[in-house]
Chain A
Amino acid sequence: SAVISQKPSRDICQRGTSLTIQCQVDSQVTMMFWYRQQPGQSLTLIATANQGSEATYESGFVIDKFPISRPNLTFSTLTVSNMSPEDSSIYLCSVERDAGYGYTFGSGTRLTVV
Chain B
Amino acid sequence: GENVEQHPSTLSVQEGDSAVIKCTYSDSASNYFPWYKQELGKGPQLIIDIRSNVGEKKDQRIAVTLNKTAKHFSLHITETQPEDSAVYFCAASRRGGGNKLTFGTGTQLKVEL
Residues of A within 8 A of B (CB): 1, 6, 31, 33, 41-45, 48, 56, 58, 92, 94, 96-97, 99-108, 110
Of A6, A102, A103, most buried by chain B (CB within 10 Å of CB) is: A103
Interface size on B, residues (CB 8 A): 24
The interface bits of chain B over 90-111 (1 if a CB of A lies within 8 angstroms of the residue's CB, else 0) are: 0001011011111111100000
Interface set, chain B 29-44, CB cutoff 8 A to A = 32, 34, 36, 41-44
Total A-B Cβ pairs within 8 A: 57
Name 28 A/B residue pairs within 8 A (Cβ), A-sorted.
A6-B43, A41-B106, A42-B89, A42-B104, A42-B105, A42-B106, A43-B101, A43-B103, A45-B100, A45-B101, A48-B100, A56-B98, A58-B100, A92-B43, A92-B44, A96-B99, A100-B32, A100-B96, A100-B99, A101-B32, A101-B34, A101-B49, A101-B51, A103-B34, A104-B46, A105-B36, A105-B43, A106-B43
Residue of A nearest to B93 (CB): A100
Complex formed: what's the CA distance from A78 to B43 in Å?
A: 17
Looking at the assembled complex, report how far the CB atom of B99 sits from the nearest CB atom of chain A, in whole angstroms: 5
